[in-house]
Each structure stands twice: as structure tokens, then as C-alpha cells.
Chain A
Amino acid sequence: RKEVEQDPGPFNVPEGATVAFNCTYSNSASQSFFWYRQDCRKEPKLLMSVYSSGNEDGRFTAQLNRASQYISLLIRDSKLSDSATYLCVVNKAGGYNKLIFGAGTRLAVHP
């Protein structure tokens, strides 16, 4: 079983749609969770951290369910510029800030 699992997609949605991505992780001792965004042939960049209470940044909402070891990302009012791969990232418990990346979920927003 992979340490971080995501639906690879692609998710093809029209502008303005709401889309949700899910992620599961295997290590119950993990303490920190992130969503990174990666554009085609570019480096990953932090989109947002994920907190136990859930957090929102503009059109983006992240949720964490520790009991189910499940993380989600909701994007509202999708823009063309949201087209990218979204990587679910979990820290490796006990390491020096070692992060485990999911393979990513690809989003394509069309006009």
C-alpha cells in the first residue's frame, strides 16, 4: 500500500465548477499535512497547509479527518488558471521534516 494515495484523475471541469480531491495516508503518526500544486514541467509549490479544524483560503478549503486518515481539497468557482496537478503531502513521522508526496491529481478546467 502506498503511503499517500490519490485519485490520479484527470478531473475535467468547466469554469465555475466546484471540484473536490481526496487523499488517504497510511501512517497514523503523521502530524503535518499539505496540498502542493504542480504546473506542467514545473516544481511543486505549497498551496496550503491542512489543519485539524479545517481551513480555507479564498476559493480553496482543506479538511483533515485523522480518524479516517483522509485529507480533502475543495476548489470552488474553478478558474482556467487552476489547471494543474494537486499533490497531497504528509510528513513522515520521526524524520527531519521528511515529506511523503502523493502522485497527484490532475485538474483540467475548460472554458
Chain B
Amino acid sequence: DAMVIQNPRYQVTQFGKPVTLSCSQTLNHNVMYWYQQKSSQAPKLLFHYYDKDFNNEADTPDNFQSRRPNTSFCFLDIRSPGLGDAAMYLCATSREDGSVYEQFFGPGTRLTVL
């Protein structure tokens, strides 16, 4: 049973051409995250939603935006992808009630920028 789903699994875009990655979850978790992971590096948190509240990391470039239209869906928009944005983009979810819980990851979208 898929719990965190990401589409597409592979995305190829051209330099500067906007791209949207999508994430959906069946866990009804109130927190959703977007991470960027480059080869041999740690997943890097870009931003997260706590319910509808958007929380941007201080070092996330303005080129990256996100939308969460409802509990189940979250989107990552890259307005003008550069070659340095080629990476695996991971969506994760967790519940939040004051304790720290496991984050569940989707399979990721591997982005290639030509």
C-alpha cells in the first residue's frame, strides 16, 4: 500500500523551464516536507508545511516554491531550474503533536536539468 506517492519518478527539464513535482499521502499526516538530496550528500530540508502553515528554510533559494492545497497533496515548483538544481527531490510526511515522530518518505523524483 503506497503511503507517500511522488510523481513523476523521473523528470527531465531544460535550463530555465519551470517544473512542478507532486506529492500525495494517504497517512493523513499534518506535516509535509520537501527535501533536496544530491549524490553522496544528506537530504537537505527545503521547506515544510505544518497543516497550512508554510515554513521556509533560511537558505532555500527563492527559485523554489511550494503549495499545499489540502492535507493530502503538496507541490514543489522550481521556477527557473539551473544545472545545480539537478538532484533527487524527496517528499516526506509526519504527524506532529508535540512529540517527535518518524518521517515517512516517498520514493523521490529524480530531476535532470539539460
Contacts and interface: CB of A to CB of B under 8 A. Distances in A.
Interface of A: 4, 8, 31-32, 34, 41-46, 49, 87, 91, 96-99, 101-104
B42 A97 contact: no
B105 A97 contact: no
> What is the size category of the interface that chain B forms with chain A?
20 to 34
A71 to B, nearest CB: 15
Contacts of B31: 96-97
Interface in B37-67: 40-43, 45, 48, 50, 55
Which of A8, A46, A49, A99 has most chain B Cβ within 10 Å? A99
Contacts of B100: 31-32, 91, 97
Contacts of B96: 96-97
Contact of B45 (A42, A45, A46, A98): A98
